[in-house]
Amino acid sequence: MNNNLNIANNVLSAIKAITSKTTLPLSEPVFAGNEAIYLKECIDSTFVSSVGKFVDDFERNLEEYTGAKHAISVVNGTSALHIALKVAGISSGDEVLIPALSFIASANAVAYCNGTPHFIDSDEATMGVDVDKLKDYLTFSTEQRSGFCINKRTNKAIKAIMPVHTFGHPVRIDNLIDLTNKHNIKVIEDAAESIGSFYKGKHTGTFGLMGALSFNGNKTITTGGGGAILTNDASLASLVKHLTTTAKKAHRWEFIHDEIGFNYRMPNINAALGCAQLECISQKIESKRMLFERYSSKFNTFKDLILFNEPVNCKSNYWLQTIILKKDNIQLRDKILQVTNDASIYTRPAWQTLNSQKPFQNSPSMDLSCAESLYKRIINIPSSTNI
C-alpha cells in the first residue's frame, strides 16, 4: 500500500516537473487568436444563429484542413454521430459495431436510431478496434445473407461499424476498411477526439463513408459545443445538411418538410469561435506533440507504467496524454487518480466499458478482455496546450 502511494507521488512529481503551474486542468481551451474579434463581428452583423458567414467559412476551412470534400457543422459530436448513422441507413433492429472502450455517446447515437450497439474489443497498440480479432470474430460469428452481414446469434444485420480514434490516436483504418468491405459493413469513423490526427498522411475521419468530429470545450479546438460530419460523397453531404436543418425543402416562403429532420445546425456564433480556433490548430497540435516529449522525458524511467506513444503510421494530435499501467499494477490506478486530483493536477480514468453501462448491459458483444483490461489501467493526464 505504501509502495502504491510512493508510485502515485512519483507520478504526481513527474507531471509537476514539466511546468511551473500549480493547477493543471485535464484539457482546457486556449484562445490566443481571433476569437474575440470574430465574436464581436457576429454581434455587429446580428448573424448569431444558424445562418451566417462563419458557418460557411468554418465548413470550408474544415474541408481544406482535413481534405474531406464536404464538411457539415452541427451542434455537437453526438449529433454528428447520430446523423451519420441515420444517413447510413441505420434503423430499428440494426446492429452497429462499436468499441466497448469509448464514451457513452457512441452507443447512445446507435440507440437514437433504434439500433443496437454491438461491442468489440480494442488492442494495446492503438487503444482502438483490434482489427485482427475482429476479422476472426466476423468470420466465425456472421454470415452474408442478401448482401447483409448477419449476426448468427441474434439474426440481425450488422450494418455499420464506428471505430473510434481513441484519445486522438488513429486505428489501423485501412486494414479495418478492407475487412469491413468484405463483410458489407459501412464505416463511420468516430473522429470526435482526433481532429489533427493523420494516418499514413491522411486525416482521420476521411477514410470511411463519413467521419464525425467534436468541438466540445475539452477538445483540441472548440466551438463551445459543436461537431461536424466529414464525407467525400456529395449526395450524402446534401442529405446530412437536409436532415440537420429540419428536412425543410427549399421554397421562397412555404414551410414544407419531407421527412423527420433535426435541429442540429451549428449557430454562427459557435462557428465564429471555430474559425478562430482552426486558424491556430497547427500550433495547438505542435504543443500537444511536444507535451508528449516533455512527459516522455519524465516517465521513461517508470517501471510500472508506460506513456502511450502514437501507433506506427500515425501522426496523432495527442488529444489526451495517456499513461497505461502494466497488467499487474491495476491496484495503482485509483491511488494515482486520488493523489493527482487531490493536488489539483486533474487526471481521469478511461470510460467504464460500454457493455457495463446500465442501458447497454444486454447488448451483443465479442470477448472484450483487452478493452476491460485497458479500462482498469488507463489514466489520462493533463493535456492542455498551455502547460
- Which residue ranges make up the site for a second copy (CB under 8 A)? 28-31, 35-36, 39-40, 43-44, 46-51, 75-79, 103-105, 108, 111-112, 114, 216-218, 222, 224-225, 246-248, 252-263, 265-270, 273, 337, 341, 347-349, 351-352, 357-359
For residues 118 and 49, give the distance between their C-alpha atoms in angstroms, rounded to a whole number.
Answer: 37
For residue 189, what are the CA distances in angstroms to 231, 277, 344?
10, 22, 34
> Smallest distance, Å, CB 288 to a second copy?
16
Distance of CA 51 to the CA centre of its chain: 26
Q: CB-wise, 25 or 67, nearer to a second copy?
A: 25
Say if CB 167 and CB 99 are below 8 A apart: no
State whether residue 323 is helix, strand or coil.
strand
Nearest Cα residue to 221 out of 28, 75, 55? 28
Q: CB-wise, 184 or 357, nearer to a second copy?
A: 357
> Smallest distance, Å, CB 5 to a second copy?
18
> If you write DSSP's letter for every residue of 98-138 in order, what string do you get?
EESSS-HHHHHHHHHTT-EEEEE-B-TTTSSB-HHHHHHHH
> Smallest distance, Å, CB 245 to a second copy?
11
| HEC profile of 173-204 | HHHHHHHHHHCCCEEEEECCCCCCCEECCEEC
Q: CB-wise, 31 or 140, nearer to a second copy?
A: 31
Q: CB-wise, 117 or 314, nearer to a second copy?
A: 117
- DSSP-assigned beta bridge partners for residue 189: 211
> Smallest distance, Å, CB 174 to a second copy?
30
Nearest Cα residue to 142 out of 198, 107, 97? 97
> Smallest distance, Å, CB 262 to a second copy?
7
> Smallest distance, Å, CB 247 to a second copy?
8
> Smallest distance, Å, CB 336 to a second copy?
11
Q: CB-wise, 77 or 196, nearer to a second copy?
A: 77
Q: CB-wise, 223 or 317, nearer to a second copy?
A: 223
State whether residue 330 is helix, strand or coil.
coil
Q: CB-wise, 42 or 285, nearer to a second copy?
A: 42
Q: CB-wise, 308 or 375, nearer to a second copy?
A: 375
- DSSP-assigned beta bridge partners for residue 381: 321
> Smallest distance, Å, CB 248 to a second copy?
8
Say if CB 307 and CB 377 are below 8 A apart: no
> Smallest distance, Å, CB 334 to a second copy?
9
How do the residues of the chain divide into helix, strand and coil, expressed in percent and rounded to 5? 40, 20, 40
Which residue's C-alpha cell is 448513422?
A: 85
The C-alpha angle with vertex 224 and arms to 221 and 226, in degrees rounded to 5, equals: 75
For residues 189 and 195, give the distance between their C-alpha atoms in angstroms, rounded to a whole number.
Answer: 12
Say if CB 203 and CB 65 are below 8 A apart: yes
Q: CB-wise, 83 or 177, nearer to a second copy?
A: 83
> Smallest distance, Å, CB 198 to a second copy?
26
Q: CB-wise, 221 or 291, nearer to a second copy?
A: 221
